Chains A and B, each alone.
Chain A
Amino acid sequence: MNNKSKKPAQSAETVIEIENLHVAFGDNEVLKGVDLSLQRGENLVVLGRSGTGKSVLIKVIVGLLKPDSGRVVVLGQDVVDSNTTELDQLRLKVGFSFQNSALYDSMTVRENLEFPLVRNVRNLSRAEIDRAVEEALDDVGLKQAINQMPSELSGGQRKRIGIARTLMLKPEIMLYDEPTAGLDPITCTDINNLINDVQERRGASSIIITHDLTCAKEVGDRVAMLFDGQFQRQGTFDEVFATDDKRVQQFYHYNFTE
């Protein structure tokens, strides 16, 4: 298994900056002082056990959850202090692909993909919309599903449609919540290629949450590991796993030995 070979040119521009982020639900302290930054054009993989607050972290980034304290700056805009209009402006540039796909189940695949486009970009011609939908479906290899309902799709197909829907607005930043969970190895490879493709062709910066170390290795320029509410280890894939820390080693061995 090769590490990600081709590293795209990275400028020094920071697109996401998080400082000392705290999030608690009642007594359940989930994030306890998270610091994180994402550079333009970079793929950052976030690893961590179930329930450590990975999904919570990216929900804070798009303003779905309000943190108890801390600073979150996305594309130069403070998310915590933004009003709804400012937040909506920002959200057009940040794509969020949900862990459970979150497809609109009363709409066909085509309508799902059209939805963010027609509601944000007025005065598009029918042909332009169709072209955008077909392009996005082509990216995830599901052209044939265009007229199906979400309930008729498999879990993996739903996941891919969810990613396609997120790509419709051509975001500068992509947040993938477990894009390869529950997919077969071949589809996983397809998704990994798609994530790299989005990075290379569109110059997008991405945070990829995953349990899947193969995916982490193939897409991640940098890996950050979340333990006990903080990022304990950051660096390239090899740097992060070059340690005797038991928790890190367990993660590695589960994925790569036996």
Chain B
Amino acid sequence: MIPPSPSTPRPFITARIDKMLIALYEVARFVGRFFREVLLPPYEGREVIRQCYEVGVRSLPLISLTGFITGIVFTNQSRPSLAQFGATSWLPSLVSIALVRAIGPLVTALIAAGRVGSNIGAELSSMRVTEQIDAMEVSATKPFKFLVSTRVLATTFMIPVLTLYAISVGLLGAFLNVNSNEATSFRSFITEVFGTITFLDVFSSLAKSIVFGFTIGMVGCYQGYNSSKGTEGVGKAANAAVVTSMFLVFIEELFSLQIVNAIRSF
């Protein structure tokens, strides 16, 4: 028997890296296939609309609640720091910047990752496990187009819409808080808010949400469509969909921060 040499961990590391590279290649191919299939006719208009509705309905209640409460809490917690400088009149602009630039897109994406991403992962992987995807495949009904393309399009389109909604609800919460504490009128609140937010703020926030939406749909579909057979595959796929897409959303948030800062200083 060969005694273990100090270099034994090496093959382990290369094997791991190999595996990672293969996984990356698989993901790239999956994404490439999405763009190919989405651009080529026939288009799945009706199914896309149905999926948009699903995404919206599924996340609307939670996003309403979270957006509203975040607006109130954030305003309330920011008040003491501003009060030290006698600057509580800046609350509307402070809160609106935070909501538009960061909190709105992030809260929406995280909730959608939990609600929509896990659902897509579980749904597609249970279809994979029970051979429903194979059944579509052998009847030439193009399951990738029908299942994956539609869902990714739906999240890419709906997450920005939900983000705008989350921001509005958050601002409503902020207004109620400011109104009851500082007796700010609705009119001056709105003037304050729109005087602060720039086009770049809204634009970058929407661009970011499009990327978030694409990520959530893509990760959920990838995990579900390629899930392992067996019932434990379903749980794994749902779980991996949430964890991976939340992780990626934060990474993308960091990147977009750098990009937008670069644009600002330009």
> B133: nearest residue on chain A (CB-CB)?
A102
CB-CB contacts of B113-147 with A at 8 A, as 1s and 0s? 00000000001000100111011111111100010
A115's partner among B127, B137, B141 (CB-CB below 8 A) is: B141
| A92-100, A210-218, A230-238, A239-247 - the one binding chain B | A92-100
Q: Is A74 among interface residues, defined by CB-CB distance under 8 A?
A: no
- A100 partner residues in chain B, CB cutoff 8 A: 130-131
- A88 partner residues in chain B, CB cutoff 8 A: 140, 142
Question: How many angstroms between the C-alpha atoms of A151 and B140 in the bound complex?
Answer: 24
A-B pairs with beta carbons under 8 A, tally: 53
Q: Is A62 among interface residues, defined by CB-CB distance under 8 A?
A: yes
Majority-rule SS of B interface residues: helix
> B141: nearest residue on chain A (CB-CB)?
A119
Q: Is A105 among interface residues, defined by CB-CB distance under 8 A?
A: yes
A120's partner among B135, B137, B141, B146 (CB-CB below 8 A) is: B141
> A84: nearest residue on chain B (CB-CB)?
B142
Interface residues in B, total, Cβ within 8 A: 16
Question: How many angstroms between the C-alpha atoms of A104 and B143 in the bound complex?
Answer: 12
Query: B130, A64: Cβ atoms under 8 Å?
Result: no
Q: Is A45 among interface residues, defined by CB-CB distance under 8 A?
A: no
Q: Is A71 among interface residues, defined by CB-CB distance under 8 A?
A: no
Can you pick out 30 interface pairs between chain A and chain B where the beta carbons lie within 8 Å of each other? A62-B138, A64-B137, A88-B142, A89-B140, A91-B137, A91-B138, A91-B139, A92-B140, A96-B139, A98-B131, A100-B130, A100-B131, A102-B130, A102-B132, A102-B134, A102-B135, A103-B132, A104-B132, A104-B135, A105-B130, A105-B132, A106-B123, A115-B141, A116-B139, A116-B141, A119-B139, A119-B140, A119-B141, A166-B139, A169-B139
10 nearest A-B residue pairs (beta carbon) = A102-B135, A116-B139, A88-B140, A102-B131, A91-B140, A119-B141, A96-B138, A62-B138, A92-B140, A102-B132
Residue positions of B touching A, CB distance < 8 A: 42, 123, 127, 130-132, 134-142, 146
